Amino acid sequence: MINNTHILAVVSVIFLCPAAGGILAGLNRKLHSYLQYRHGASIFQPFYDTIKLLGKNGSTSIPFQMQFILLNIVFIMFAAYLILMGQDLLLIIACVAFAEFSRIVAIMLAKSPFYQLNARKETINAIVYITLLLLAVVNIKLITGSYMTRSIYAASSPLIYDIPLTYLVIIFAILLKLGRAPFDYCAPGIRNRGSLERLNTGFSRTALALINISSWYETILLMFLASVFIAKPLWIGIFISLLIYFLFTLIDSLTPTSTWKWTVTFWWPVAGLVSIINVVWMCLGS
Amino acid sequence: MVGVKTLTIERGHFRMLYYCILLALLSPVIGALLASFIYSYRVIRNAIIFTGIITIASACGITWLVIDSGDMIKIYLDSMIFDYNWIVKFMTLAVIIYIFYYGVRWKRFLVYMLAAAQLIPLIIADIFLRYKSPLYTFSIDRLSAIMLLITTVLSYTILFVSSGYMKNYHHSFYKAKNGQAIVICLSMVQISAVSALVISNSLHAYYLLWQILTVTSFFMLFQKKNKSTHENAFRLLWMHLLSGLAFIFAHIIMYEVKGTSGVDDITQLYVTGSYNKVFVRALCLLCFAAIIRTAQFPFNSWLTAADNIPVHIPGILASSTCIPAGIYIILKFSPMLSNTIPGKVLSAIGAFTFTASALMAVLQNNMLKTIAYLSSSFTGFIICCTGFGNSTGFDIAILLTMFSSIIIALLYICLECIDNETASVNIKSLQGLIAKMPVVAAVMTSSLLLMFIPPFGMFLVGWLAFNSCMEAMPVIILVIPGVLLLLALWIKLIGISLKYPENDKAFKIKVPYYSVLALAFMLVVVMAASIMAIPLLNGFIRPFTDAFSIYDKGFDVSDNLNIWFNGSNMSLQGSISYIFVFLVIFIALIFVFESFKNIINGRKKEITKFNIQSDDLENNFPESDYKSKKYYTGQSSYIENRSIFDEGKLSVLFNIISTAIILVLFGVVYK
């Protein structure tokens, strides 16, 4: 049965999430411009760009690319819906993963060899950060006894008290996902670090517009995931997540990029170990 | 006199059951005899079709009778002209003596030593122990029915495609003139052996059938003239003999402890829980035998090192005969290890193989090796799930057995079609597949999508596993990277096969009608299996695993999430979530539609039927690297840096770690 909560969640997923994500992207660009002594574009510029792209004729000339982009946006929207409904964290991560992998397949379908290289790099990045997210979710289950997001809100104390190291792991994962320096060896980001690093140049017109919208959803999802650790009250969690988001931008402007080898050999052992230490810690404590 | 014991089977159904079993066991053997005596592709294909239809129909009949009669059917053979058990004993000795002779003839120390090591306890046991045969000869439950269906349906589909496989090419590579026919004949014997294994009730019969599988697998590989294939065949032989050795000792210990070799009597013990430490040792030996048969690290090289062989050989071994036989043994006996330390170590072995094999699969350039590692990886996850300590773990394991066998068979069939037309099993042969062979590309990508994306098939299995593994949390942490690596392989396969070639010179190759038929059939099987997963779980598998009476925390599939089908009545719970399900189906259908549009309106300028001759490979396929060194190195261009992901170094590392875990298993048991 459809009730008011469902309708509210659907409306939020369709309108609020992309709006918030777009504004965050605009603010991010603005901050970057200030750090580079430029005035920068309006914070609504991502919306203008996307609307312009949506107005162009045709979607993409590459066969099957549009289908995978549609898969990407469907999965990411569904993940947003699930998180708003307080549903299963495991399914949310799975949807994020499938959305990410659909995007990578869409990149792989482009004919240029640069995109093939980018797709490979992006695959490694996705494997690393989704592994970290899954480890964090498993830690959350150990604390709350359930994968449901609503059980986190129902917990007696914020998760950060019990699993602070896991919060760090989530932050690492978000850093990798958002492609901020020094973790952005394949950044689909805001700064042009050469043609090899601009994944989204594989897309054009409607396809690129949908990818932009999908990236806004991803940002909101990841911020929300970070904020559930400090979910009592939730607005503090959201505020801290936003602070961290803009801190990433600051670090991004100050540091160089890394290599994929470093990403794998450093982040898997370090963040994985941190996560496992947290599991052992909890097992010993209980 | 033949009797049947069950609670609810009707008298009229008894005759049907009798004929179904007879046909399921004998028709592959008849097909094998036909294939071996008459060297004609038309006869072989017809033999495969007719015996296949009969065997699959018999398997379906047995499954229906199992559902109809409750949970289990037990059958005894009495007052026969000859003693069934003496035949089993005689055949077992004959097979082992034959292997011993072969080892001596080819001067393979490991082979004849391992054969001798089995011969001695076997003779002593036969002469001095004087086995009492179990009361029932056949015992058929739901697990047997599932395995029977997997074996018959998948193996006959692979055989159907292989009947026309590279008949001009591989012809010159076999030792005998009718090498291809012999391979098909041996495959049919394997089908019969696995069918007999999953329905028989005696450990002694299990052992005989286990050794028949060993011998037939060996000769399937041994048919090729190639020296490296010979080496691989002997590697397979000694590894499987090692598993046989573990099996015979497990059998003797179990008989000594419990005084019976009846599988139904033994498996009933997990209801009563009355088994001691010595019995657990025997169980671990049985599981060790199954670990080798299911190609787990470090015993996976019999499957994964096999390259440059006809694709259907590893296809049959991995998807429908050898590996499912090993899985069956694990699923049958491992419930007794639930919530014990050996059970958890066994689970760790599976989890490690899952992740390690997934990494190796991603690194491969040779598709034969990729699918072999994938198969090993899935089996690892099945073994891992059996150690969760609750019945949901066994639900997942059975469901995954079905899915993995289907997807592995499908990938082998696709590869067989590609290899048949392009003479290459390199991953590069998949490039531009959508332009070259749109049917194969459409079936492969649609099936992979349907199997892996939420909320279908494999995703469901993973979701259930993560939800029911609270008692095995360290193991599931080991599994997490493997899940992501498998997804990476998924995108690699889909991305490569759907990408149009960079130049327009790609030609469209006509795929033979029998391959198209087999692919269409497999697509239907994949769709049915992945969409009907939840009703199958609730209606067919749950009643079976509930009988294990092991601890279950009452996890319900429809508990957490409202998108799942609830119960067997298939009603959709929830509100908006079903839109997502249909969206996914819709997008998957777009793929199929796009592919078929391509088939109909595609480029027709160079439609050619290639039936590869061994000497015109170079002329027809300048880009084929079949004969180049790169084909054999197995190195991957996917991840450029060899310093971390070198296959050789990783294999050594994984072998050491997995050997250590197996030693821990025996250390725990024999402490």
pLDDT band at B373 (very low <50, low <70, confident <90, very high): very high
Q: Is residue B112 part of a domain?
A: no
Of A3, A64, A148, the CB nearest to B594: A64
**pLDDT-wise least confident of A79-88, A273-282, B91-100, B181-190:** A273-282
Q: Could you say which of A63, A91, A265 has the minimum Cβ distance to residue B644? A: A265
Say if CB A129 and CB A118 are below 8 A apart. no
Per-residue confidence at A184, pLDDT binned at 50, 70, 90?
A: low
pLDDT at residue B657 tops 60: yes
- Cα–Cα distance between B212 and B216 in angstroms, integer? 6
Band (pLDDT 50/70/90 cuts) for residue A196 is very low
Is residue B548 predicted with pLDDT exceeding 90?
A: no
Summarised one tens digit per residue, pLDDT across range B128-156 is 766 677 778 888 888 999 999 999 999 99
Q: Distance between CA atoms of A114 and A208, rounded to whole angstroms?
A: 17
Average pLDDT, chain A: 77
Give the pLDDT of residue B97.
Answer: 92
Least confident of A179-193, A240-254, B157-171: A179-193
Least Cα separation, residue A108 to chain B (angstroms): 6
Concatenating the DSSP letter of every residue in B609-627 gives -----TTSHHHH-TT--SS
pLDDT at B42 over 60: yes
Check whether A21 has a pLDDT greater than 70.
yes
Other CB atoms within a 10 A radius of the CB of residue A56 amount to 12
In a domain, residue B119? The reply is: no
Residue with tokens 């289990």: B72
pLDDT tens-digit readout, B574-633: 333 455 565 666 666 666 666 666 655 554 443 333 333 333 333 333 333 333 333 333
Q: Answer whether residue B87 is part of any domain.
A: no
The partner residue sitting opposite B498, judged by closest CB among A3, A109, A130, is A109
- Using DSSP, state whether A206 is helix, strand or coil: helix
Indicate yes or no: CB of A101 within 8 angstroms of CB of B490. Answer: yes
**CA distance linking residue B367 with residue B162, whole number of Å:** 17
B640 alpha carbon, distance to own chain's centre: 32
pLDDT digits 0-9 by tens, B43-93: 888 889 999 999 999 999 999 888 888 778 888 776 566 677 778 888 888
Do A112 and A86 touch, CB atoms closer than 8 A? no
Over the Cα atoms of chain B, what is R_g? 24
Confidence check: pLDDT of B33 > 80: yes
Mean pLDDT of B650-667: 86
Mean of pLDDT over chain B? 78
> Where do we find the tokens 């470090």?
B298
Buried b (16+ CB within 10 A) or exposed e, B176-193: eebbbbbbbbbbbbbbbb
Cβ neighbours for B253, distance < 8 A, ≥ 6 positions apart = B278, B279, B281, B282, B285
Gap between the Cα atoms of A9 and A18, Å rounded: 13
A215, A134 Cβ separation under 8 angstroms: no
Task: Give the rounded distance of the alpha carbon of B405 from its chain centre.
Answer: 5
pLDDT at residue B175 is higher than 60: no
CB contact under 8 A, B463 and A94: yes
Per-residue pLDDT tens over the stretch B177-217: 667 788 888 999 999 999 999 999 888 889 999 999 999 99
Taking contacts as CB-CB distances below 8 angstroms, the residues of chain B near A71 are: 453, 584, 587
Name the phi and psi angles at B46, rounded to 5.
-65, -40
* Residue B16: inside a domain: yes
> Domain containing A245: what range?
4-285
Task: Note the pLDDT of residue A188.
Answer: 43
Number of domains in chain B: 1
Q: Is residue B228 part of a domain?
A: yes
User: Average pLDDT in the A114-129 region?
Assistant: 79
User: What percent of chain B is predicted at pLDDT more than 90?
Assistant: 26
Q: What is the pLDDT of residue B505?
A: 58
**Predicted local confidence at residue A256, as pLDDT:** 61
DSSP result, A116-143: HHHHHHHHHHHHHHHHHHHHHHHHHHHH
Of B473, B485, B591, the CB nearest to A127: B485
Structural domain for B307, as ranges: 2-81+131-545+587-624+639-669
A53 Cβ under 8 Å from any chain B Cβ: no
DSSP state of B500: P
Q: Find residues 131-190 of chain A whose CB sits inside 8 Å of chain B.
A: 131, 134-135, 138, 141-142, 146-148
| Bridge-based pairing state of the strands B2-5 and B138-141 | unpaired
Strand partners of residue B32 = none
Task: For an interface test with A, give the residue of B444, B477, B603 to mutate (most A CBs within 10 A).
Answer: B477
Closest-approach residue (CA) in chain B for A10: B576
Contact between B495 and A127 using a beta-carbon 8 Å cutoff: no
Burial label for A119, CB within 10 Å (0-12, 13-18, 19+), is buried
pLDDT at B603 (0 to 100): 45
Amino acid sitting at position B125 = A
Length of chain A: 286
pLDDT of residue B154: 94
Strand partners, B73: B140
Tell me which chain A residues have a C-beta less than 8 angstroms from the C-beta of B575: 1-3, 6
Q: For residue B1, what pLDDT is reported?
A: 40
* Contact in structure between B358 and B381 (CB atoms under 8 Å): no
A152-168: average pLDDT: 78
Report the number of distinct structural domains present in chain A. Answer: 1
Q: Per the domain annotation, does B111 fall within a domain?
A: no
Classified as helix, coil or strand, A20 is helix
Is the pLDDT confidence value at B404 over 50? yes
CA distances from B390 to A53, A61, A140, A173, B335 (A): 53, 51, 21, 32, 9
Q: Given this model, what pLDDT does residue B625 score?
A: 37
pLDDT for B628: 39
H or E element, residue B412: helix B391-422
